[in-house]
Amino acid sequence: MSASAILELRDVGKVFGDTVALEPTTLSIEEGSFVAIVGPSGCGKSTLFNVIAGLLEPDGGEVRLHDRPVTGATGHVGYMLQKDLLVPWRTVEDNITMAKRLTGRVSSAHRAEARRVARQYGLGDFLRHYPSALSGGMRQRVAFMRTLVTHQPLLLLDEPFGALDAQTRLEMQQWLLQVWKDTERTVLFITHDVDESIFLSDRVLVMSPRPGRVVADFVNPLARPRTVDTLTEPDFVVLKARIMHLLHGGTP
Amino acid sequence: MSVSDTNLASAPRRANRSSESVARKVARNVGVPVLSIVLLLVVWQAIVVGFHVAPYIAPRPYQAVLAVTQNWSTLWPLVLGTIRETVYGFVAGAALGISLGVIMAKVPVLQRLVYPVLVLSQAVPIIALAAPLVLILGFSVTPKVVIVAWIVFFPVTVNVLDGLSHVDQDLVNLARVYGAPRWRTFVQIEVPATATPLFSGLKIGATYAVTGAIIGELAASDGSSLALYQEHANTNLNTAAVYGTTMLMTVIGISWFLLVVGAEVFATPWQRRTVARRSWRRVADQSEGDSAR
Ligand SMILES: Nc1ncnc2c1ncn2[C@@H]1O[C@H](COP(=O)(O)OP(=O)(O)O)[C@@H](O)[C@H]1O
Ligand SMILES: [Mg+2]
């Protein structure tokens, strides 16, 4: 493997009954990169994540994190879904520290960190609020902070902004890029929104269903920082056209 | 409170109820129910007086109350007895109900095996249950407790089972991704997620608990009990005492129900509040965190 790869998949596949959710897939993710995975629903994106996270045992192959085998094991990635999965009976602060509470003790240092992160990213006034008091965008940010404070170097984000309206989503994308830059994590980001996949990423993996597989792997040429203008640059439009072509049944 | 530190926040939902004054809250939550009870008594009085109903058919409200207060020294121990049967039976039934619900949720085979038996248990007429219980347990407090528990456990089991089987599996999976052991996931995720259905079951149980205790007293008492006192008053055509005793039983039932509602309000603050109550731990932390800034 290359020296800078944080995650490696070797022939990892998953079949449910007679649905090939994920064909044996080999993949290497560079440390510190932002990789988008785009594809229509049912092409095995979530299955891929569940295998990496250890929720699903793959039928074959190996998952390696930092060059150590972690196939079928949990507790080594950050993980976030479209559903924010905040627990309604805990405050914002206690939701952020939830992972620590579930795996050990929440120290006052953990709580101080939760408050610091919340203040830094604009939720300092809501630490003692219950999630029901927050808007969708705020809830999604709390869910992301909860993922951040696990200090996992690899974050799996499964359509995290899929349920937000267009305006909030654009703001959240810029916010996410800021946090990614601040915290130097590796991000795998699932979306079915092509614009989103290009706007955020260093690299775009395109997946296709029946059988679920990666059909293309694009290096994103766009410079950072990304702004609203990025969306109209020629490179953006070219890459978007190529991805759209694949998503609508074209061959690479 | 401001959200000026961010341009992302759309306005959060505010607690409209917390802005309501305390006086209005009390008026709504206590005043209205009290008013409706007073109204009931007024209608009762009006009917009895208006239609010249004979006292041995139906007493006036104040006569019923007098029948209680004048015999309070006799009634008080009987009331205590009924309360004891209700509370013991309720606690036993709740404990049994919760245990069965948890076990059935966690062991699907047991669920299929036990569920029909539970349904069967509720089809047995409670009165028919009393005779064998007296044979086995005698005229002690125990058969009444058993009857109350028999009635209470069922709605608790059904609701706990239902609650536990509807816990969001994505949330359980998230805990797994964190590397949480199963017992912690159970305690921190599954149990609180079941709080609302659990309390629904407990509230249904609480409304039936006193009825169970009275049935037990009727069927399995050898002498002194509230139910037998009422039967005795009935035989003597002391209608005021009959009505008075009924009122007493109702008061015990309502009090117990309200106590369970109070426990729910206390145990599930997130249902009504937008901001958490202050706790010592938070206060200590907050000041330490702020001074570190
Ligand atoms: N637990 C499961 N049991 C059976 N089939 C599943 C399961 N999970 C996913 N699948 C199937 O595998 C395919 C890929 O699913 P998924 O990974 O969720 O797709 P995506 O996230 O890209 O929408 C779909 O056809 C889906 O129906
Ligand atoms: Mg999916």
B173-201 confidence digits (pLDDT tens) = 999 999 999 999 999 999 999 999 999 99
Residue B28, strand partner residues: none
- How buried is residue A136: exposed, middle or buried, by Cβ count under 10 Å (0-12/13-18/19+)? middle
Predicted TM-score (pTM) of this structure: 0.87
Under a CB-based contact definition with an 8 Å cutoff, are residues A4 and A30 in contact? yes
Q: Could you tell me the pLDDT band of residue B24, with boundaries at 50, 70 and 90?
A: confident
Ligand 1 neighbour A21 (Cβ under 6 A): yes
Residue B146, strand partner residues: none
Average pLDDT, whole number, for chain B? 87
Beta strand pairing status for A78-80 and A34-38?
A: unpaired
Distance CA B91, CA B109 (A): 27
Tokens of B126: 């409670």
pLDDT at B244 over 60: yes
The pLDDT value recorded for residue B19 is 54
Ligand 1 neighbour A206 (Cβ under 6 A): no
Name the residue facing B274 among A98, A101, A129 (closest C-beta). A129
All residues of chain B having their beta carbon less than 8 Å from the beta carbon of residue A88 are 270
The pLDDT value recorded for residue B110 is 93
Q: What is the share, in percent, of chain B residues with pLDDT greater than 90?
A: 70
The pLDDT value recorded for residue A138 is 94
pLDDT at B293 over 70: no
Q: Which domain holds residue A109?
A: 87-151
Distance CA B49, CA B43 (A): 10
Residue to substitute in A19, A49, A81 for testing ligand 1 pocket (most ligand atoms within 8 angstroms of CB): A19
Q: Could you tell me the pLDDT band of residue B213, with boundaries at 50, 70 and 90?
A: very high
The pLDDT value recorded for residue B85 is 95
Distance CA A164, CA A170 (A): 9
| Residues composing chain A | 252
- The count of structural domains within chain A is 1
Distance CA A204, CA A183 (A): 21
All residues of chain A having their beta carbon less than 8 Å from the beta carbon of residue B198 are none
**Helix, strand, coil shares, percent, chain B, to 5:** 75, 0, 20
Give the CA distances from residue A12 to residues A20, A22, A50, A159, A213, in Å, rounded to whole numbers and listed in that order.
12, 8, 12, 22, 11
pLDDT at B18 over 60: no
Under a CB-based contact definition with an 8 Å cutoff, are residues A93 and A114 in contact? yes
Cβ contacts from A onto B, under 8 A: 122
Q: What is the share, in percent, of chain B residues with pLDDT greater than 70?
A: 88
Look at residue A95 and tell me if it is in a domain: yes
Q: Could you tell me the pLDDT band of residue B283, with boundaries at 50, 70 and 90?
A: low
The pLDDT value recorded for residue A126 is 96
The DSSP annotation for A192-207 comes to S-HHHHHHH-SEEEEE
The pLDDT value recorded for residue B291 is 42
The pLDDT value recorded for residue B8 is 40
pLDDT tens digits along B110-157: 999 999 999 999 999 888 888 888 889 888 889 999 999 999 999 999
The pLDDT value recorded for residue A2 is 53
Q: Which residues of chain A have pLDDT under 50?
A: 1
The pLDDT value recorded for residue B27 is 82
Tokens of A130: 């219950």
Ligand 1 neighbour A41 (Cβ under 6 A): yes
Token look-up 């990666």 returns A214
Under a CB-based contact definition with an 8 Å cutoff, are residues B216 and B143 in contact? yes
Q: B64-292 domain in CATH 3.30.2130.10? A: no
Higher pLDDT, A209 or B8: A209
pLDDT at B2 over 50: no
Give the residue ranges of DSSP H helices in chain A.
45-53, 92-96, 98-103, 108-120, 136-148, 166-183, 194-200, 234-247
Exposed e or buried b per residue across B53-89, where buried means at least 16 C-beta atoms within 10 angstroms of its C-beta: eeeeebbbbebbbebbeebeeebeebbebbbebbbbb
The pLDDT value recorded for residue B11 is 44
pLDDT at B65 over 70: yes
SS (H, E, C) A136-163: HHHHHHHHHHHHHCCCCCEEEEECCCCC
Nearest-CA distance A130 → chain B (Å) = 5
Residues, Cβ < 5 Å to ion ligand 2: A 46
Look at residue A218 and tell me if it is in a domain: no
Under a CB-based contact definition with an 8 Å cutoff, are residues A93 and B283 in contact? no
Mean pLDDT over residues B211-223, rounded? 87
Nearest-CA distance A109 → chain B (Å) = 9
Q: Could you tell me the pLDDT band of residue B5, with boundaries at 50, 70 and 90?
A: very low
